Chain A
Amino acid sequence: MNSFNSIIKKDWGRIIALLSNYLHDLDLAEDAMQDALESALIHWRKNGIPKNPQAWLLTTAKHKALDKIRRARNFESKKKDYLRLLQLNESNNKEDFFIADERLRLIFTCCHPALAKSTSVALTLRLLGGLTTQEIASAYLVSAQTMAQRIVRGKRKIKKAGISYVLPEKDNFQLRLGRVLTVIYLIFNEGYCAANNTKLIRQSLCVEAIRLGTILLNLCPQESEVKGLLSLLLLHDSRVKARFNSQGDFISLEKQDRSLWNKLQIKQGAELLKSALGQKSIGSYQIQAAISALHCQASSFKKTDWHQIVLLYEELLKITPSSIIKLNQLMAKSHIAPAQDVLKELNELEEQLLKYHPFYVAKAELLVTLKKPDEAYRQIKKALRLCQNSTIKSHLESKLKLFYSGIE
């Protein structure tokens, strides 16, 4: 039943969104959808896939939900709701064949700032992405039980705290959209930073984030930062094949085989970025995408337009002042400015970045340029103590070996 699975994956979020809108209850919506899928498995096997499987699933799920409410222990107190739903059901049964898209409300509900970001990530993947709880748990390296609890608690908070299933008001829209973008970016990063020897499902989070970004852009096509984010994700992801060798070792940008980069995806990312920048409403995702685009479009590491990248980081720092962004800017600067000067600026960041391992890697690289391998060695050692990612760790260890043999 491959077509069955693909229909479900594709339409899950859409149907859940409609059910949530109708039932005002995410939990009930999800349960009803699950029941409808079970029915579908039986009926579709026997009679074939219906002409409009989405409408079939939606109608069946609605009936399942009504059944569930009727059978509930506290039916008496829910009777009013039930009658309202029954009436609603009869009045728009005809419209069911046209499946409206209510996913934007669902996205904003899942990514409400009153929920913890980790909860929003889980709810978004489950309710919009259609990933199973088990899949999400494996991707985040926690037990299925832990993930199930996180999802249940999230849905409970939505219901009990009165997080309503509506679009944010106009004056609040940009702020709330920002939160949605953060959640999608977090999903992408989890996959992007995953060690290569971990389960494939972790890396599929990148694909999932791109899919969610695409859905979001379809729902709000005028938002330049949505374009910016999607562009950034496409550009980052275009390099995925070159980031690891066949043994699973991490390869830094400088050493990557650029012929392995996904040209089509780079083109898509660059086009989206161009369209976003044309709207003249700049934001941090657009700037990050612009930086990524300059890397992707350089024919070699040496030929990268570092001047432009340093300027873009300056713009980014104006929007989001952060020591980590400053560090990245200095690393770009090190390709066009004397290492001694960059090192001086870098040292000023030490206090804020004491526990951030890339700081010591950056410092080591500058010290190597300044022909101080002993000091560089000590910095890499510090980085190793702080780094949690096993792939990056072995990458750093191989750097250490290089210092030993005196090649670098």
Chain B
Amino acid sequence: MKYMALIYSAENAGPQYGTPEFKQMLADYHSVTELFEKDGVLISGDGLQDVNTATTISVRNGKTETIDGPFAETKEQLGGYYLFDCDNLDQVLKYAAMIPTVKYGRVEVRPLMEY
């Protein structure tokens, strides 16, 4: 089954850019991604630029409305994702728990729709 792990965290939570802890976190991301690949469960995964770079659009009656900013102004924002291919929920949860951000943010795991 395919699962999307959506990585959320508050902007000021966790290690801040430029600190040694931040470097360590990047290294941790690097090594878990390698592990996911090695175990054959990774389809893809990436981090996102921060929410200040977000643009949200909607189309109503053929008119496009463009808004500067994320879809919802919440404390915790989507910061990245992994797309996994796992046997079951238990397996994907085991991998999701290794994502470095779980220690200060949250990871939401959702199965992909099957057609």
Contact = CB atoms under 8 A, between A and B. Distances in A.
Interface string B70-102: 000000000000000011111011000000000
B67 interface: no
A390 interface: no
**Most chain-B Cβ atoms within 10 A of its Cβ — which of A161, A163, A172?**
A161
A169 interface: yes
B88 A164 contact: yes
Interface in A94-136: 112, 114
B51 to A, nearest CB: 28
Contacts of B14: none
B57 interface: no
A160 B111 contact: yes
A164 to B, nearest CB: 4
A160 B88 CA distance: 10
A114 B94 CA distance: 13
Contacts of B111: 160-162
A166 interface: yes
Nearest to B88: A164
Contacts of B93: 114
Interface in A152-173: 160-164, 166, 168-169, 172
**Most chain-B Cβ atoms within 10 A of its Cβ — which of A162, A168, A172?**
A162
B10 interface: no
B1 interface: yes
The interface residues of chain B, by DSSP majority, are classed as: mixed
A112 B93 CA distance: 12
Contacts of B3: 162
A166 B88 CA distance: 10
A172 B89 contact: no
A114 B1 CA distance: 16
A214 B89 CA distance: 29
Contacts of A162: 1, 3, 86-89, 92, 111
A163 B87 CA distance: 10
Contacts of B89: 112, 114, 161-164
Contacts of A166: 88, 90
Size band of the A side of the interface?
10 to 19
Nearest to B92: A162
Contacts of A163: 88-90
Nearest to A112: B89
B61 to A, nearest CB: 34
Interface string B28-49: 0000000000000000000000
Interface string A168-184: 11001000000000000
B92 to A, nearest CB: 8
B28 to A, nearest CB: 21
Interface string B1-21: 101000000000000000000
**Most chain-A Cβ atoms within 10 A of its Cβ — which of B3, B92, B111?**
B111
**Most chain-A Cβ atoms within 10 A of its Cβ — which of B3, B86, B89, B92?**
B89
Nearest to A158: B89
A37 B59 CA distance: 53
Contacts of A114: 89, 93
A104 B3 CA distance: 26
Contacts of B86: 162
A112 B1 CA distance: 18
A163 B93 CA distance: 11
A114 B90 CA distance: 9
B84 to A, nearest CB: 11
Contacts of A112: 89
A172 B93 CA distance: 12
B82 to A, nearest CB: 16
Contacts of A161: 89, 111
Nearest to A114: B89
Nearest to A169: B90
A160 B92 CA distance: 14
A198 B85 CA distance: 49
Contacts of A172: 90
Nearest to B93: A114
Given A114-B89, A162-B88, 4 more contacts: A114-B93, A162-B92, A164-B89, A168-B90
Interface of A: 112, 114, 160-164, 166, 168-169, 172
25 contacts: A112-B89, A114-B89, A114-B93, A160-B111, A161-B89, A161-B111, A162-B1, A162-B3, A162-B86, A162-B87, A162-B88, A162-B89, A162-B92, A162-B111, A163-B88, A163-B89, A163-B90, A164-B87, A164-B88, A164-B90, A166-B88, A166-B90, A168-B90, A169-B90, A172-B90
